[in-house]
Amino acid sequence: MKPFILGIFQYIGPNGTIGSAWQHPDDTSADFLKISHWTTLAQKFEAAKLDFLFLADSYGFPALNGELIDAALAEGRGIPHGDPMPIVSAMAAVTSNLGFILTTSTTVEPPAANARRFATLDHFTDGRIGWNIVTGSSGATAAALMGKDLISHDLRYDMADEYVDVNLALWEGSWSDDALVLDKQAGLYAEPDKVRMVHYEGEHFRTDGVLSVPPSPQRTPLLVQAGASGRGRRFAGRHAEAVFLAGGDPAVVAANVASIRQSAVAEGRSPDSIKLLVGALFITAETHDEAREKYDEMLSMSTNEGAAAIYAGNTGIDLLALDPDRPLDQTSTEMGQSNLERYLSKDGTPAPLVRDILENFRTTGINGSVFVGSPEEVADQAEAFIATTGADGFLIQPHMTPGTYDDFIDLILPILRERGLAPTEYSGNTLRQRLFGAGAHLPDEHHGAGFRA
Ligand SMILES: Cc1cc2nc3c(=O)[nH]c(=O)nc-3n(C[C@H](O)[C@H](O)[C@H](O)COP(=O)(O)O)c2cc1C
């Protein structure tokens, strides 16, 4: 088995991904608006040689029928949260290898604004940037906040295809590799005939212009995607170089992994041109019993009301208003579909009841797998999970900040290293080189290469 790719999941807010851990005396996540909180974490992750820090984001917030959900505010879940972009430069300044994957939605800003910001950050980080492309979770509230109507689910993805293409056209097409001259003696900054206007006309987006930033180390940031609906998987096949998957039932994850690799093949790409990374929570301690105690403590900070608020913000469905003894009667949503599809009847198995859905969501949250046990037990579970699913690694979710990470780094990582399942040194200069062991730029088989001049 190859060494796992290991990234860290965070968002600019209090709490981990299950319950409201900020209230625990040892948790520091309520400091999320202090720069030092992030620079300290980034240095910790780099010292452990972890591949990247992923920052999730959404403009959405938990609300139903135009009203904020009280439990979300009371518990600090889904709101508040800040913008991930501004903190990256500070973290890049105190690290030199850690990658940063940032989320932006294709439904908020014009694509050219996104292209310029990522190009600038790719310079500031020396090629350590990735873009997590989302069509936006909590889509209804995000759209209303922006003064727009919610765009239907599949149309959002059709628009996202064009949105990404505009970005690719600007990154790949504007500047030739040798356009920047910087000859002080000759007084020549850039070769005028090696920088060109880009023209793109789609159904939903157009641009006539140039990327104002000279080519960055990767040109196009590492392209990442996170929506696992059927349409989301097709989108991944076309664009993504890495996909974040929710964990959970290994058989379901294995099917998603296979389906996403198949979508890449359908786009003329090789099946391993996409790295599949599974969201997972690792709860460990020196002994099995201590780990179980930590797990129970985590669940004691996770309420039905808080879980239902997050679920409602994500899908538009209020689990607390439904009959707990029936399955979901709604089988589609124009909001995020992954968290609805997850609880529908599959392959003839009966659909779970609302009470079981709520309990599952309360205890596993939006991203899925929870591994609990002694360090050896957890390493065994993680290894078995990768063997069964064919995924490439994990996105390590926080419960306690920084406790969950300290436990992973101090107790689990040494065992993974002993087994050859985690790298001991950084390799590759850019994030793309680290993950693929190949070049810094988008590979030629990716359709984005077609935008090169
Ligand atoms: C590990 C992981 C991280 C995610 N991070 C984000 C995020 O930061 N922002 C976001 O809007 N959606 C994020 N998503 C995706 C949403 O959960 C949701 O699936 C998606 O936005 C809607 O697309 P879909 O209908 O294809 O599921 C993430 C998903 C996973 C599994």
Q: 105 to each of 81, 109, 139, 160, 234, how far by Cα in Å?
A: 15, 8, 10, 9, 17
Site to probe by mutation for ligand 1, drawn from 108, 137, 158, 310 as the one with most ligand atoms within 8 Å of Cβ, is 137
391 lines ligand 1 (CB under 6 A): no
- The answer to the question of residue 331 being in a domain is no
φ, ψ for residue 206 (rounded to 5)? -140, 155
Burial letters 140-151, b for 16+ CB under 10 A, else e? bbbbbeeeeebb
- The answer to the question of residue 244 being in a domain is yes
- The answer to the question of residue 73 being in a domain is yes
| Residue 89: band (very low, low, confident or very high) from pLDDT cuts 50, 70, 90 | very high
338 lines ligand 1 (CB under 6 A): yes
| Residue 199: band (very low, low, confident or very high) from pLDDT cuts 50, 70, 90 | very high
Do the beta carbons of residue 160 and residue 180 sit within 8 Å?
no
**pLDDT, tens digit, for every residue of 378-430?**
999 999 999 999 999 999 999 999 999 999 999 999 999 999 999 999 999 99
106 lines ligand 1 (CB under 6 A): no
244 lines ligand 1 (CB under 6 A): yes
**pLDDT, tens digit, for every residue of 277-293?**
999 999 999 999 999 99
Q: Tell me, in angstroms, the distance from the centre of ligand 1 to residue 314's CA.
A: 9
- The answer to the question of residue 19 being in a domain is yes
When pLDDT is averaged across residues 163-171 and rounded to a whole number, the result is: 98
The beta strand positions in 151-219, using DSSP E, are 180-183, 188-190, 198-201, 206-209
Whether the predicted pLDDT of 138 surpasses 80: no
Nearest ligand 1 atom, CA 244: 1
Q: Tell me, in angstroms, the distance from the centre of ligand 1 to residue 191's CA.
A: 42
Report which protein residue has its CA nearest ligand 1's atom 24: 227
Angle in degrees, 0-180, between the axes of helices 250-266 and 375-389, rounded to the nearest 10: 40
- The answer to the question of residue 52 being in a domain is yes
* One-letter amino acid for residue 190 of the chain: A
Q: Which one-letter DSSP state was computed for residue 411?
A: I
229 lines ligand 1 (CB under 6 A): yes
* One-letter amino acid for residue 274 of the chain: I
β-sheet bridge partners, residue 103: 132
Q: Distance between CA 151 and CA 157 in Å, rounded?
A: 10
CATH number of the domain bearing residue 220: 3.20.20.30
Q: 57 to each of 12, 118, 209, 418, how far by Cα in Å?
A: 8, 15, 28, 35
- The answer to the question of residue 338 being in a domain is no
Q: Distance between CA 335 and CA 140 in Å, rounded?
A: 7
- The answer to the question of residue 330 being in a domain is no
Q: Distance between CA 422 and CA 31 in Å, rounded?
A: 30
Q: Which domain holds residue 376?
A: 5-180+192-315+368-446
Number of domains in the chain: 1
**pLDDT, tens digit, for every residue of 295-333?**
999 999 999 999 999 999 888 899 999 999 999 987 788
- The answer to the question of residue 77 being in a domain is yes
Report which protein residue has its CA nearest ligand 1's atom 21: 137
